[in-house]
A and B are shown apart, each in its own frame.
Chain A
């Protein structure tokens, strides 16, 4: 097979369309600024759908930070933030954003303009709130934060109920905040359309994930790491649904024809955590050992509708209540007990040989519990795991040689297990 054909098999052709879809997102942001339409920064995990429903143009600074990293600007931006007094140990997404704003970087370098207001939530991490508090003060814009109670291993149903109530009340309060700041009103019909699109987008993404159960796996992280972005930035729009459907159809064809993303697939891996956006070639390097990542909880997590209690009917008829429920129950924030259970199920269903766990120096909430997760997976379920220490956006914190050596040894362990 020619080199060109091999390359084509690695990434889906449809995924190339991501550039256009994301390009439209950035054009919409520019257009909003030109037209004087309200804009809002939002942290991941926040209900971006509500922004679309009230005709606010969302901007996701985390998404922009990944662009800075992929284009090798993050290090410079981070160092600018550190010169402002922000510690070496703080979140590298946050520092990338601080540096990008100070540098007045344009959208293509991961810049984010001054918004009309900011929306943060601590559902994923406290940093999100601190980040926007810092930036709202520096840019002098209003900031609304959603305070999300934390579910732990022994949270009971009684608690769940008043947790949801607290979130719902804040979401309604947030709608008032938007109206007060922008004058835009909440329209139920528009909200219904947006949530319908958000639901459809997530469902196609989940269908794509189902296809990744196939051996050989039809697609790799080349499709999913970038493919994830519309789930963050455009839940509620139609365009990304079309893109995901094209990705699904192409991947399905591969599955039906027994074609995988790799010429030869020896090892199927899972990658837990945020990727190293400044070094995505690292993931391609796994192919050296005929290894492919077939599941990333991170990219799956944001197809948020995975709680069986939240039906499509509920999402459409009671969007606020549905969002409240969802904010307490998605992959990224599972308590330790649920996390272990979900990992075990996933490893079984996706026929995974080994799990790579990213101990992310920037994301302490995500890396907390990783050691216990690893111990349970290895001791209770005989699942090989490897912890890699690095950072999602700060290239200074990655020792590539060391990580490659660790993975090489890990693959050897997997190879020996297969021979048994």
Chain B
């Protein structure tokens, strides 16, 4: 099946529109074993390491089934860098979706217009028709996926499912065929019902937040140090499935509303509301501490850190902030700080 690639530093792209157009939404993820040598010819090395990694892969050659790309506004990186993607790739369909930074009614109306434009451009370029019926069908499918993921996510809290295993499930859901995803999640859900919990001994229950963390090996690395991610606030995580799209409203408006009302991330305004999201998760999941990971040069997360630090101190919640580099060799260099944090909590 043909795919539409998604370059999105959050999870703000309405996959349902891509599905209704007859394509598989294929979100791009980084490869931390890769050096962004060719991307560095386009983007200075002091810019977001993750988006450079994505560009590197794009320049080296995308999956041959990818027939177009949607770049979605997240942070500063996306709009300026999307011009470079246009420069480097030869695809007929390259659309930049201006996911608004604000979340009020004016922003909602604007986003509805931008989604309509996305639909129009897909229809024009691929000579297809995206009907409300097709959109509704897609919404029903993605909602099923969201419900299953939320249900499965809770097995982390019950100490049945490791954070790394769950991370992989969410990641797969963002680039594999949705029917296949649904089937896999249904099987997993069944399997988990009879899986025995693991021992709580020596486990530190963590809320993981920060930049986009798409390397499952990083989660495994945290687990090797005794941390268990019971809950997260990430794109490859709860942000992808926490709420549902209203299936009874006009579909485009429902999709826009869904994206503008889901738990806020650092790139939206006011980003400080993210603290409220985190606080609620901390209370609901009774975590021992919070780990906030900023990928090197990830400005939105860097701006939020001092505020979060202050607020967590006030609440006496253990909080660790780490600026990390996107390569696996660097993970071990962080072990002293992680170990010290584990001692504290």
Contacts and interface: CB of A to CB of B under 8 A. Distances in A.
B31 interface: no
A85 interface: yes
Contacts of A152: 79, 82-83, 86, 96
Given A127-B299, A336-B83, A154 B307 contact: no
A145 B42 contact: no
Given A125-B76, A137-B307, A166 B110 contact: yes
Interface in A92-137: 122, 125-127, 129-131, 133-134, 137
Contacts of A149: 98, 100, 110, 114
Interface stretch (A57-65, A273-281, A309-317, A361-369): A361-369
A30 interface: no
A257 interface: no
Interface residues of B, number: 50
B306 A89 contact: no
B303 A150 contact: no
A159 B272 contact: no
Contact of B303 (A130, A145, A166, A371): A130
Given A155-B96, A364-B47, A371-B42, A126 B76 contact: yes
Contacts, number: 141
A165 B117 CA distance: 15
A4 interface: no
B80 interface: yes
Interface in B254-295: 267, 269-272, 294
Contact of A153 (B86, B110, B297, B309): B86
A173 interface: yes
Contacts of B77: 364, 368
A168 B101 CA distance: 16
B47 A122 contact: no
Contacts of B44: 359, 364, 367-368, 370-371, 389
B82 A158 contact: no
A282 interface: no
Contact of B302 (A87, A129, A367): A87
A15 B100 CA distance: 42
B43 interface: yes
B83 A134 contact: no
B94 to A, nearest CB: 6
B94 A126 contact: no
A357 to B, nearest CB: 11
B41 A133 contact: no
Nearest to B310: A85
Interface string A402-416: 000000000000000
B89 to A, nearest CB: 12
B303 A147 contact: no
Contacts of A372: 42, 83-84, 87
B75 interface: yes
A133 B272 contact: yes
B81 interface: yes
Contact of B114 (A130, A162, A367): A162
A263 interface: no
Contacts of A170: 106
A84 interface: yes
B110 A371 contact: no
A146 to B, nearest CB: 9
B259 to A, nearest CB: 14
Contacts of A55: none
Interface string A49-90: 000000000000000000000000000000000001111011
B300 interface: yes
Nearest to A134: B303
A371 B83 contact: no
Contacts of A365: 76, 80
Q: Which of B41, B100, B303, B323 has the most CB of A within 10 A?
A: B303
Interface string A16-49: 0000000000000000000000000000000000
B46 interface: yes
B305 interface: yes
A359 B47 CA distance: 11
A207 interface: no
Given A127-B76, A153-B86, 4 more contacts: A133-B303, A162-B114, A169-B106, A369-B80
25 contacts: A86-B306, A122-B101, A126-B75, A126-B76, A127-B76, A130-B303, A131-B303, A133-B269, A133-B272, A134-B303, A137-B307, A145-B102, A145-B269, A147-B269, A152-B83, A158-B120, A163-B98, A165-B110, A166-B100, A166-B113, A336-B80, A364-B44, A368-B81, A371-B44, A372-B87
Interface of A: 84-87, 89-90, 122, 125-127, 129-131, 133-134, 137, 143, 145, 147, 149-150, 152-155, 158-159, 162-163, 165-166, 169-170, 173, 335-337, 359, 361, 364-365, 367-372, 389
Interface of B: 41-44, 46-47, 73, 75-77, 79-84, 86-87, 94, 96, 98, 100-102, 106-107, 109-110, 113-114, 117, 120, 267, 269-272, 294, 296-297, 299-300, 302-303, 305-307, 309, 321, 323
